[in-house]
Structure 1
Amino acid sequence: MAAPRSTPRLFRPGSWIEARRVAEILRQETIGGALLLGAALVGMIWANTPWSAAYESLREYHLGPAALHLDLSLATWAADGLLAIFFFVAGLELKREFVAGDLRDPRRAAVPVAAAAGGVAVPAILYLIVAGGAGGDAARGWAVPTATDIAFALAVLAVVGRHLPSAPRTFLLTLAVVDDLIAILIIAVFYTADLAVLPLLGALLPLGLFALLVHRRVRRWWLLLPLAVATWVLFHESGVHATVAGVLLAFTVPVGRDGDGLAEHFEHRFRPISAGVAVPVFAFLTAGVTVGGPHGLADALTEPVALGVIAGLVVGKGAGITAATWLVARFTKATLGEGLGWADVVALGMLGGIGFTVSLLIGELAFGHGTPRAEQVTVAVLAGSVGAALLATVLLRLTARRRAKSA
C-alpha cells in the first residue's frame, strides 16, 4: 500500500546550503539597507537646506569621454553605471535561484512566482485607477510601484522579523528576486524609446567573449572587466537601458550546484560593492528633491501621480502578494508552514511594498530626470516605502506578541 502523500507547505525550509546562503545575504543586505536609507535621507535633507544649489551642482556635474557619448552627469552615471552593478548581482542571484535554488523546482517556485506576479499586477492597476486619468504622461508611471527593493525589505525583516523561521525569509528573498526579473523585463520592453540596432548587435561580441571566458572558469579581472565595460557601453549606445547589460552578463556566469561556482564567487565579491556603494550613491543622488517645506511636501503628496504610487506600494503590493499566495493555497491545497499565519503573509506582502531603488529608477525613465512628475514620484516612493515598512513592522510586532502570549 502506497504511503499517503504529505500536505504541501507554502513556506518550506530550504536545504542547509540554501539556509546558509540566505543568512549571508541577510547579513549583507541589512547593512546595505541601512546605508541605502541613510544616503537617501542625506540627499533629501541636503536638497532642502540653504545649500541645495551645491547639491544640485554635484548631481549635475558632468564627466566622461564625449567621443563615446559618455559625457554624463553624476546622477546619470549612478542610474546607468552604478545600478548596472546592482543588476549584475541581481542577475547572479536570479540565475542561482533558477539553477540551484528554490526556483529550479516548479512546485516550490509556484508560490513566489505567483506572489511576485500578483505584486506587480495589482499595484500597476491601482496606479492607473488613481493616476491614469490625470492627463499628459501620467500613465507612463504605471510600473513605478511594481518593484520591491531587496536590500531595504530584507533589512526591515532582519530587524523586526527575528521571531519568524527561515522559510519566510527565503520566500521574501525569492519573491524579490523574481520581482527584479519582472522589473528588468519592464524596463527593457516599455522604457526603451529609441533603439539603435547596430550597437545592440555589436554588444553581442564582447558579451559572447565574456561568456566564453567565464565558462572556462577564467577569473582574471583584466580580461573580464574590459569586456563587461564594452558590453555596457554598447548597450548604452543602443538605447536599451544600460543596466540590462549587467543582467545579461550575470546570466552567462556558470552556477555551481554546491555553492562553489563562478557565480557564487562573483556574487561574494560584488554584493558588498552593490549594497555598500552602488545603491547608496544612487539613492543619495536621486532622493534629493526640494519639497518646499511641509506645505510643499503636502502639495506633492496630493498630486495624482504621487497618490497612485503610494496606493500601489502601500495597498497594492500587500494585496497582490497576499491574494496570489491565497489563490495558490486555495487551488493547490497547499497549507502554510508550521507556526505561520496569514497575518505573517500579509506582513511579508507589505514588506514587498518597499520599492525603493528600482522604483526610483523607473520613475526617472518614465518622466525624465528633474521633471515635476519625476520629483513627485521620488517623494511618493520615499513616503510609500516608509509607510509600507511601518505597517509591516507593526503587524510583525503584533503577531510576535500573540505568539509570546500563546507560548
Structure 2
Amino acid sequence: MALDWTPGRLNSLGFAKPPSETRVVVAMSGGVDSSVVAAQLAEEGYDVVGVTLQLYDHGAALAKKGACCAGRDIHDARRVAEDMGFPHYVLDYENVFKDAVIDEFADSYLGGATPVPCIRCNERVKFKDLLETAKDLDADCMATGHYIQRKMGEHGAELHSAADANRDQSYFLFSTTPAQLEYLRFPLGHLASKAETRALAAKYGLSVADKPDSQDICFVPNGDYASVIEKLRPGAGEPGDIVDMDGNVLGQHSGVIHYTIGQRRGLGVGGLAAPLYVVKLDVDKKHVIVGPKEALATRTIPVREINWLGDAPFDSRDEWQVGIKVRSTRPPASAIIRPLSATEAEVELLTPEEGVSPGQACVFYDENSSRIFGGGWIWRGY
C-alpha cells in the first residue's frame, strides 16, 4: 500500500515529492535482502526498476551453484519483480567483472596478497557502472540490500555501521565515495536482525523468503581459491620451500597460492615442538615463511588508495585517532592514522594485531559513534 505523502515533506528516501514520482533503481542479486528492498519500495508506491547484473557465465566451471548473480539468482530476481509488478532488467557485465575484479583477484594471490574481491565489485562495478546506468534510467537514487546506514550530517551524507553488528557490511563498503553516497540508499541498515528481513519477505509473499545466504565469494566454488586461480592462471601452483624465519628449509609446498598469512593448518611441517604459522610469503623466491604465533603480531600498517569520508580533508591533520578493522569479522581496534598524502598513510595500532596481510582492507571507524571514515588497502610495505 502506497504511503501518504504531504507536500513540503520529504518521502522515506529523502526527496520532496511523492513516492510515485520518485524513481529508484534497486540492485537485485536474487537474494532475500535486495528482494525485500525492492518489494518494500514497490509497496510504498515508488517507481521501482529492478536491475540484476550477470557477472559471469553461470555455466562455467569456476562459478558455483547458487552463487550471487548466477542463473538461479537471475530467475529469482525476475520472479520477485513479476510478483510485485515492477520492471526488471538483466545486464551482461561479464567482461567488466572479469577485468575489474576476477583478474585482479588472481594476480593479487599470485603476488602473495590476500585480496577482498567483494570490495572491488562494489567499488568498480555496482557503485560505478551500475550506478551510472541508474542515472541513465533517470532514477533519483539507487537502493541496495546492504546492511549499512546512510545518515545525513552537517556536511552531507555520512556512512554508518548497520544497527545489527552481526550483519554489518561496512568493511566491504569503505570505498564508497561521497558522491556515490549522496545517490545511494540502504533501506535495511536500521533493522535489528536478519530475522526482521525474512519476516518482511514472508509478509510480501516473496519466493526467496527462506533462501539461504551466500557464504563464499560468488565466483569461488566451496571457498577453494587455489583451484580457481589455477584455472585462471595455468601453472600458478609452482612448488617451493617452506622455510623458517632464519631461512632454514623445513619442507616443500605445491604453490604459494595455497597459503595465507596466519595459516596454521595444512603446512605439512611436523615433528616440531611448537606450532608454526605462515608469517610471510616470498613470491619471488617461492618461499612460504613460517614462525611462532608472536611473529604474526603487527603494530604498524602501511595503507594506500585511501577513500576518506571525514568532514575535514584527510591530510589536514598530522594524525587521526580512530578505530580500525583489518578483517570484517573483528571489532574495531584503537589506532592512530598518520597521513603521508591525501591517499596514503601509516597506521599505528595501539595493540598489535595478528595475521595482517597485504591485499586486505584497513577500514576507519569513529570511536565515539557508528560513523565510518573510509579506509584503504594494506600493501607490502612492512
Provide TM-score, normalisation by structure 1. Answer: 0.24
Higher helix share: 1
Provide TM-score, normalisation by structure 2. Answer: 0.25
Which protein is bigger by CA-based radius of gyration?
2
